[in-house]
Homo-oligomer: A and B are copies of this chain.
Amino acid sequence: MRGATGKNNSDLTEMNRSAVMKILQQQEVCSRADIARQTGLTQAAITKIVASMMEMGIVSEVGIITGSSDNRRSIGLKLNADRHQIIGVKFAREMFALGVFDISGKMYTQTETKFPLEENPQIVLSAMKKQIHDMLKKYENVVSIGLAVPGPYLRDEGRIAVVTRMSSWHTINFIEEFKEEFQKPVFIEHDANAGALAEWFFGGHGQSLHTLAYFLVGEGVGCGMIERGRLFLGVQGSACELGHVSVDVLGPRCECGNYGCLEMYCSASALWKKAQKYVPECLPGENLKGGETLQSGDACNAIFEAARLGNQKALDVVREIAEYIGYGCVTLINGYNPDVIIIGDVVSQGGDLLMPTILEVVKQRVIPELHTRVQIKISNLQVDPTLYGAAATATNKVLQLPSMFSAAGKWGPGK
């Protein structure tokens, strides 16, 4: 825990393979010289590491490329990303989604399954497992499964501590349910951590980020924080529960026991409730086609649409939500000092309407030295950040321990 664990030569080799793999995961094609420069290792050392990775099937040569800095011609290297496929599983209220990806973030397929809130969890889990087994049969290069669940998720116990409106799920042990079921390693993170990893690995933010905050504003409100390449987890894995940080300690009580939690003011449900009170005429009917009930995402989009058309009451509702998202950003900046905050999930679909207010709040409330440094953006991932994040959760592990997931390794598909 205190960094007092020793390292031996095979740890060293694996750390260096991991460094090479992370560079190739981000840059697609690189020469050995490029990699040597970025890792700070000698070209001789890189030649040796790359040779072992080529032998393991992780890396291939792709012909001659021209260096970006020195214009010298050299052999290009690329990651055999498709040799490391991942099944990502998003578990959420009333739905789960599955996707097959590779470690470069390429998506091969995805499915989405809805279920009623009151459904027996075992029935839902069985359906989920069956779909995973089917995908494992079809995609033979799957090396790992990543699962994203709503937070706060207790990592050692394998269960979700608070799931609004889904109390029967509190006792489900996700580790037990999934670790034994498949011949592949399964990694589980809560949705906001997963989203942060998705932005980190697939978001194209470049390699210079120090601290990335993914601010999830959806059914729930949460945050995933990556500092110097690692998730900030806390002892039970439930750090950064921004949704349950109080913005008014004397405010109304939250389901979690705390008072005035941020989640109560700017989640999709909060937006929906405000809309029902102030602009019910903008909401679609509660019952959609075929008895399907209105999802809060649809409700949010209806309000955003009305606001874009100039409905003043809708604009006021949206502005109020945006102010609280802004307060959340202020807390993130003073509490975690990230260089980028990426806002994602349902509510962020109102990005163009929200951003001016968010930036105004931040500018007004944060000292200039910090607010001029931080970038605040709406996520522009092309895949649902939580599903993508489920895949990124497993990708993170593959990139940390390349040899373990190669054909020759302990968990490799060859075994």
Point out residues on A near B: beta carbons under 8 Å.
1-9, 11-12, 15-16, 18-20, 22-23, 26, 38-42, 45-46, 152, 154, 157, 161-162, 200, 207-211, 227-230, 232-242, 244-250, 256-259, 324, 327, 330-331, 334-339, 364-367, 369-370, 373, 400
Structural contact, B236 and A373, CB atoms closer than 8 A: yes
Rank and list the top 7 A-B pairs by shortest CB-CB distance, nearest first.
A234-B337, A6-B39, A6-B41, A3-B229, A239-B337, A210-B235, A235-B339
Chain A binding surface SS class:
loop
**Chain B residue nearest to A11 in the complex (CB):** B12
9 additional contacts (CB under 8 A) given A238-B370, A248-B250: A2-B26, A4-B22, A6-B45, A8-B42, A227-B233, A234-B337, A236-B369, A238-B337, A248-B248
Q: Which residues of chain B are near A369, meaning CB under 8 Å? A: 152, 154, 157, 161, 236
Structural contact, B259 and A365, CB atoms closer than 8 A: yes
Known: A4-B39, A22-B2, A229-B3. A236 touches B15 (CB 8 A): no
Q: Which of A9, A236, A249 has the most CB of B within 10 A?
A: A249
Structural contact, B245 and A335, CB atoms closer than 8 A: yes
Structural contact, A23 and B4, CB atoms closer than 8 A: yes
The distance in angstroms between the C-alpha atoms of A368 and B167, with both chains bound, is 15
Known: A3-B22, A229-B3. A335 touches B236 (CB 8 A): no
Identical copies of this chain, number: 2
The distance in angstroms between the C-alpha atoms of A38 and B40, with both chains bound, is 30
**Chain B residue nearest to A240 in the complex (CB):** B335
- Nearest-Cβ distance from residue A234 to partner chain B, whole angstroms: 3
Structural contact, B331 and A246, CB atoms closer than 8 A: yes
Q: Which of A7, A20, A256 has the most CB of B within 10 A?
A: A7
- Nearest-Cβ distance from residue A395 to partner chain B, whole angstroms: 13
Q: Which residues of chain B are near A154, meaning CB under 8 Å? A: 369
Q: Which residues of chain B are near A162, meaning CB under 8 Å? A: 367
**Chain B residue nearest to A337 in the complex (CB):** B234
Q: Which residues of chain B are near A367, meaning CB under 8 Å? A: 152, 161-162, 256-257
Structural contact, B207 and A1, CB atoms closer than 8 A: yes
Structural contact, B257 and A366, CB atoms closer than 8 A: yes
- Nearest-Cβ distance from residue A237 to partner chain B, whole angstroms: 7
CB pairs A–B below 8 angstroms (7 shown): A7-B12, A236-B370, A239-B335, A240-B336, A241-B335, A245-B245, A246-B330
Structural contact, B5 and A40, CB atoms closer than 8 A: yes
Q: Which residues of chain B are near A239, meaning CB under 8 Å? A: 211, 335-337
The distance in angstroms between the C-alpha atoms of A152 and B337, with both chains bound, is 11
Structural contact, A4 and B207, CB atoms closer than 8 A: yes
